């Protein structure tokens, strides 16, 4: 029997940490894109450097599709444990390909990647053989594979290059010659000029375009990717990148940087952010800008360090003691990840409030192709004034925003204090002034109003059922809802969470049937929505086992409610 796969293929590579799943993914990502295929990958892995059981899903499609699939069309297990690890996702439809003697899965197709690699000079080439095999299955032009592999290893020695070339060719021949699978995949030339980005890439490029010149952080999964990306740009773009002794130091350093006129980015995850809360409160008090990227992972405490969750919205909403305004963003796509991060710097500088960008492990570690975005459309707005002798950092203004001076630029003094302070920034216990200062800070909520981005409606404008989601679940939820094939259903996705967009109320009230989809255990956005609009969403699709939502799963769960 020949299995036919048309226009949408889900391959899963599975193995232990250290076996090189990422290098196969990396080769395929670029090679498939240059060949005109849409590419999406998502990885789930254990918190260990060696061993265990990890997997990477690679989705190749004729149409753009960046949703995570539960389905596995082809599974390539690199070790025996992969089978048990993925047993819930393996069905009779799944084709398992690999080293039969090692994996021992009944009915699998035996391809001896390691032996083929050893014949070429070492087991180390097995990953390239595997990548070549997949290219052969897809019948990508062989010359294209060869050219790519020489380019990919261009910085390596001649020996390594030629062996990898031989490896990709050998794998290719095995893939192409395999009977039993027929893959027909539509190509799209436009994909070739797309960008190929991970979520970490999108956030980092957005920071560059936002004029970021100072980055500090403390390594913590899954936020470290952005710290490392920014470090890789440090020289070229004149960015100070500092690994600080702890997250308390991180946030205070970032505030010092903004105070001195820099545009600082903090990147962290939930546990690190928890340590920063007093600093967030200081940010509110001294009305400093601050851009903070928080890549969420499951908590509480250390939780599941390398996995995904949308569990920190509540914390970010309430972080820091006392009342002060803030902005919370949560990109749903790579384009939003770039644009919102870029915008975060201007928003923060303009309103002098902390701006949080909430992503998660699924978002930062996934990779897909996306139409190129244009940094030329963006302007860096510094919102810094040259000070005069009598400059007052916290001058009382109609909209609560005081012109922001920085020390050393102008003749004035720039005084900021964590205590309640007067217009000049000096400590005060004048309790009437205290009230005026609180009111001043809170006035900024109204000032921010016009900048708020309303939630995006995708689907039928005459919806009866509204599926509500936020942040990283956008692609998966949209695909699931489209796949339902129902009329009068739409998705309402929030990428701007706070101050809560009032426009959401009308959508929510219009829906006869409201469903929320959140990658957490308590429907944190639903709670915020109820607080802001009075609308309760009782139909909840929640997931909190550390894995991202799959398209099929969301489809199935929504179906129960319509």
Partner 1 sequence: MENIFDFKDKIDIAWCPGCGNHAIRQALLAALEELHLGREKVVLVSGIGQAAKMPHYIRTSFFNGLHGRGLPAATAIKACNPELTVIAVGGDGDMYGEGGNHFLHASRRNPDITLFVHDNMVYGLTKGQAAPTSRPGMETPVQVFGVFEKPLNPMALAISLDVPFVARVFCGDVGQTKEVMKKAMAHKGFALVDIFQPCLSFNKVNTFKWFKDNTAYLPDDHDPSDRAGAFKKSLEEEPFPLGILYESDRRSTFEENLEVYKKDRSPLYQREVDMKMVEAEIMAKR
CB of 343 to partner 1, least distance (A): 14
**Would you say 419 or 502 has its CB closer to partner 1?**
419
263-288 exposure pattern, b = at least 16 Cβ within 10 A, e = fewer: bbbbbbbbbbbbbbbebbbbbbbbbb
**Would you say 160 or 384 has its CB closer to partner 1?**
384
Cβ-Cβ contacts under 8 Å for 455 (sequence gap 6 or more): 492, 493, 494, 495, 496, 501, 503, 504, 507
**Would you say 171 or 337 has its CB closer to partner 1?**
337
CB of 214 to partner 1, least distance (A): 6
Give which of 442, 457, 475 is closest to 548, Cα–Cα.
475
**Would you say 233 or 445 has its CB closer to partner 1?**
233
CB of 253 to partner 1, least distance (A): 4
CB of 411 to partner 1, least distance (A): 6
CB of 562 to partner 1, least distance (A): 39
Structure tokens at 139: 């019948």
- Residue 453 DSSP one-character state: P
**Would you say 166 or 344 has its CB closer to partner 1?**
344
**Would you say 372 or 536 has its CB closer to partner 1?**
372
**Would you say 378 or 463 has its CB closer to partner 1?**
378
CB of 331 to partner 1, least distance (A): 16
- Distance (Å, rounded) from C-alpha 25 to C-alpha 391? 56
**Would you say 297 or 350 has its CB closer to partner 1?**
350
CB of 256 to partner 1, least distance (A): 3
- Residue 382 DSSP one-character state: -
Cβ-Cβ contacts under 8 Å for 20 (sequence gap 6 or more): 126, 127
CB of 197 to partner 1, least distance (A): 6
CB of 42 to partner 1, least distance (A): 18
CB of 384 to partner 1, least distance (A): 6
**Would you say 50 or 389 has its CB closer to partner 1?**
389
Cβ-Cβ contacts under 8 Å for 127 (sequence gap 6 or more): 19, 20, 23, 24, 27
Helix H, strand E, coil C: the string for 25-58 is HHHHHHHHHHCCCEEEEEEECCCCCCEEEEEEEE
Residue 498 contacts residue 285 (beta carbons within 8 Å):
no
CB of 321 to partner 1, least distance (A): 12
CB of 361 to partner 1, least distance (A): 21
Give which of 159, 27, 183, 29 is closest to 97, Cα–Cα.
183
CB of 250 to partner 1, least distance (A): 8
Alpha carbon distance, N-terminus to C-terminus of the chain:
37
**Would you say 275 or 396 has its CB closer to partner 1?**
275
**Would you say 237 or 442 has its CB closer to partner 1?**
237
435 vs 79, 354, 530, CA distance in Å?
65, 21, 29
**Would you say 342 or 555 has its CB closer to partner 1?**
342
- Distance (Å, rounded) from C-alpha 485 to C-alpha 506? 25
In this structure, what are the phi and psi dihedrals at residue 277, rounded to the nearest 5 degrees? -60, -35
Give which of 275, 281, 213 is closest to 249, Cα–Cα.
275
The C-alpha angle 290, 293, 297, rounded to 5 degrees, equals: 145
- Distance (Å, rounded) from C-alpha 273 to C-alpha 302? 12
The C-alpha angle 91, 93, 96, rounded to 5 degrees, equals: 80
CB of 282 to partner 1, least distance (A): 5
Pairing of strands 181-184, 3-6: parallel
Residue 263 contacts residue 216 (beta carbons within 8 Å):
no
**Would you say 35 or 82 has its CB closer to partner 1?**
35
- Distance (Å, rounded) from C-alpha 441 to C-alpha 326? 10
- Residue 388 DSSP one-character state: P
**Would you say 425 or 499 has its CB closer to partner 1?**
425
Structure tokens at 171: 């794998």
Strand (E) or helix (H) holding 3: strand 3-6
């Amino acid at each position: 029997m020949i299995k036919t796969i048309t226009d949408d293929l889900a391959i899963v590579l599975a193995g232990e940490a250290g076996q090189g799943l990422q290098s196969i993914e990396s080769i395929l990502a670029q090679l498939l894109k240059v060949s005109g295929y849409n590419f999406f990958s998502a990885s789930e892995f254990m918190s260990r450097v060696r061993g265990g059981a990890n997997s990477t899903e690679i989705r190749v499609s004729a149409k753009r599709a960046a949703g995570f699939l539960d389905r596995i069309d082809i599974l390539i297990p690199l070790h025996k444990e992969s089978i048990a690890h993925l047993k819930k996702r393996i069905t009779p439809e799944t084709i398992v390909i690999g080293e039969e003697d090692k994996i021992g899965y009944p009915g699998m197709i035996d391809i001896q990647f390691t032996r083929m690699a050893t014949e070429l000079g070492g087991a180390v080439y097995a990953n390239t053989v595997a990548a070549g095999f997949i290219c052969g299955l897809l019948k990508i032009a062989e010359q294209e594979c060869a050219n790519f592999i020489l380019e990919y290893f261009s910085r390596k020695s001649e020996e390594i290059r030629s062996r990898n070339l031989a490896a990709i060719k050998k794998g290719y021949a095995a893939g192409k010659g395999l009977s039993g699978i027929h893959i027909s995949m539509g190509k799209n030339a436009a994909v070739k000029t797309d960008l190929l980005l991970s979520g970490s890439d999108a956030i980092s490029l957005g920071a560059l375009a936002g004029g970021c010149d100072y980055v500090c952080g403390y390594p913590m999964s899954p936020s470290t990717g952005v710290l490392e990306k920014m470090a890789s740009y440090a020289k070229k773009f004149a960015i100070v990148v500092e690994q600080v002794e702890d997250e308390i130091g991180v946030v205070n350093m970032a505030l010092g940087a903004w105070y001195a006129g820099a545009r600082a980015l903090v990147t962290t995850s939930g546990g690190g952010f928890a340590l920063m809360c007093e600093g967030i409160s200081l940010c509110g008090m001294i009305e400093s800008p601050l851009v903070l990227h928080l890549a969420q992972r499951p908590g509480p405490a250390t939780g599941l360090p390398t996995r995904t969750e949308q569990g920190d919205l509540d914390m970010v909403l309430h972080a820091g003691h006392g009342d002060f305004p803030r902005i919370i963003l949560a990109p749903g796509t790579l384009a939003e990840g770039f644009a919102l991060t870029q915008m975060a710097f201007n928003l923060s500088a303009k309103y002098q409030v902390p701006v949080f960008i909430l992503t998660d492990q699924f978002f930062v570690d996934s990779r897909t192709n996306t139409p190129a975005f244009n940094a030329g459309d963006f302007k860096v707005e510094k919102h810094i004034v040259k000070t005069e002798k009598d400059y007052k950092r916290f001058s009382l203004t109609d909209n609560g925003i005081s012109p922001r001076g920085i020390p050393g630029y102008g003749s004035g003094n720039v005084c900021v204090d964590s205590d309640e302070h007067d217009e000049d920034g000096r400590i005060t216990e004048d309790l009437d002034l205290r009230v005026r200062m609180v009111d001043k800070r809170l006035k900024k909520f109204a000032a921010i109003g016009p900048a708020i981005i309303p939630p995006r409606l995708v689907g039928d404008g005459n919806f009866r059922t509204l599926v509500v989601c936020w942040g990283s679940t956008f692609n998966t939820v949209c695909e699931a809802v489209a796949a339902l094939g129902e009329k009068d259903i739409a998705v309402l996705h929030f990428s701007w969470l706070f101050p809560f967009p009032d426009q959401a109320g009308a959508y929510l009230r219009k829906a006869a049937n409201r469903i929320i989809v959140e990658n957490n255990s308590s429907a944190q956005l639903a709670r915020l929505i109820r607080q802001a609009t009075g609308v309760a969403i009782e139909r909840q699709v929640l997931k909190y086992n550390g894995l991202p939502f799959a398209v099929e799963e969301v489809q199935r769960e929504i179906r129960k409610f319509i």
